[in-house]
Structure 1
Amino acid sequence: MTADLADSADSADSADSADSADSAGTDDSDETATGRIAALPTVLLHDHLDGGLRPTTIVELAEHVGLSLPTHDPAELAQWFTREAGTEVVDGVATGSLEKYLRTFEVTLGVMQTVEGLRRVAREAIVDLAADGVVHVEERFAPELHTMRGLGLQDVLDAVQQGFADGVAEAAEAGRSITVGTLVTAMRQLDRWDEVADLALANRDRGVVGFDIAGPERGFPATRHLSAFQRLREASFPVTVHAGEADGLGSIAAALHQAGASRLGHGVRIVDDIEICAPVGATLREQVESARLGYLAHWVRDHQVALEVCPTSNTQTGAARSVADHPITLLKHLGFAVTVNTDNRLQSATSMSRELACLVDDAGWSPGDLRDVTLTAARSSFLPHDDRQALVARIEGMPTRPIGRHSA
């Protein structure tokens, strides 16, 4: 990666456009801010493997396994995903719901039920992320969702891990360095939490760096199977929990204090525990100065619990009205440990560089803000101490020259 954003932007754009034209999300070669941000080293903590497939790959794998698709044209299929996921803009505001968003995964999961399919999807995910400037990713997936054609949980994990290794090697051949940690996820609405926790622990020395729970947040609290979190805690194993996305403060409190999470997937509803005393229309500075934090918000900030915020996704699922109005900006300026993430690159038609560019263009973020959240992500990774410090040192070389609409 480079220490001079402006000087390297053009070469990075031209190199990446050829390699990633069919990557999940969008081709950013024609987006100035996004292309320049792709030249920066970034850290991604919240990205779902089954939400980042290339449309062409879905079409090819679907033909192989006999899966019916809404369309077999890759471009039309990409549009179908974003439309079904709720990326419809009404009066400048994206509309959608988490439930509708999650239904799109029936298609992606349908082509991820074989060793070959899993290995290919995993490889391509890492290649695409590296081409977008990601230097460390903690990729998550739920092995239990990939057993419909007879694979066991360990079979699924082995295939994905091999795909990750293939992707790292392919990225290296293209001159891009990326490290990968695996987050093994259990689904809230299913009852295999203990089994999945055991799988994570059994593979902690083979690239699995943490445990997660995902799926419908309402009605399926983190307290549903506390035995899984107990064994993870006793084994000193890192935990992140999807909380504070579709449900509120109670979900966040349970994730932290009963499940033992050290990071929160999304976590944006922590803003419900913050009172802004400034009048409507107040400046960001006035909002920050007038903010009164509740006890839970204080706890999250004081303990620097990393918030794995996914701006575009949050607008689709109804957790935020728009990127411009997203609480991530307020939370960052209040001192919360905010990180920026993609969630599901296919459904959100996004990439890491696009998420950061939207914050620059729509929310007024500076290059210094981008550097801050990237450092926070590096420091909040589940890497061993020495590897984490090396990652932090790499990010500390990020440039702070203006980007996008706010450039001089």
Structure 2
Amino acid sequence: MHIAIFNQHHHNPDCPATCRHYTFLEYLAKRHKVSLVTSSGWKQLRITDNYSWVPEGVELYEQVVPYSNKMGIGRRLVSYGGFAAYSLTKGLAIPKPDVIWGVSTPLSTPWMADRVAKLRGVPWVFEVQDLWPSFPIEMGAVKKEWLQRRLYQLENKLYRSASHIVPLSPDMESYVAAQGITHDKITTILNGTDLEMVDAVTPEQVEALRRQYKLQGKQVVLYAGTYGRANNIPTIMQAAEALADHPNITFVLAGGGYYEEELQKLAKRLPNLRLLPPQPRPEVFKLFKLAALSLVSFNDLPVLASNSPAKLYDSLACSTPVIVTNPGWTKSLVEQHGCGRYSPAGQPTALAETIRQLLASPEELKEAGLRGAAVAREQFDRQLLARQMEDVLLKVAAKAK
């Protein structure tokens, strides 16, 4: 089978990113012909050079187009539009695929996958990584009501046009179904994590990291991810201030983004706040193994409650309990499996108290970590999730024939 995937935001494990599709493509390319239509945007963020840019066997079609989380709306639209135009041209030129796989975000990528699929007479699968346009609208990036309506109409049209839809969380599935899509057309495949990278981390590496950052004797509270406007970062900052008089507790934040400058100013003032640069994928697991507790933090918006954050899966796989700030399915997950706690977004006093309570209960932390690791082995292994994606693609291609 020939699979053509349209994904503007391809990256590899040398980048500070989740690498879901890298793992999936690596799995699929051993069994099928795989063509990847993408952009070069993430290459500039590559930290190391330990991995090939695409897995062996993947045919790469790449447009040189800039992209950054720090871009304003105008520059992002130029980037999205440029990639959409490239996708159409390249999608019509590559050997005819049996199935097309379009990945949001942004919505322009699955839109172009739909166009190419219709012109070439093949089915397509819509992977919903984030709910668009709900995310930019709820974040205030799309203010004009007429444009909001047009984007929601486009979203609904794409759901109906796709042969199958793959959301990344149960709440996303519920949202898609609420748009009038039958559940037999939807398969949730979680974001997941790379267990082989978890298993590669040794105790000696973790201790070396602890010495490197002078964290001996410290209980580390880790946030590893984007310092974005959606990530409830001010609450973490205020919680760190509230716990500054607990010398055994240190907040370690690894990432970059919108709040980076404010965090740097705060770190100069607080002895219990340590900032690290973005890390390549294998190094992130060392940090999670080092941490006593991790934060999976987002603002209190309905669209964010549905997301499928990689740091949740990575942390639990490393036996590190999590505190989540969304009232959605992640809250249900940690409470059902006893692998963390919920603390409401925007409430720094509550977050600080939850952290203090958990770190004062070593047995609870240990048991929560073991339960998290067990559920990760059972449900979050990307090798198993890649097989689920393969099954979806095979069924869609077979049905079309």
TM-score between both structures, scaled by the size of structure 1: 0.33
- TM-score (structure 2 length as normaliser): 0.34
Q: Which has the higher contact order (CA 8 A, sep 6+)?
A: 1
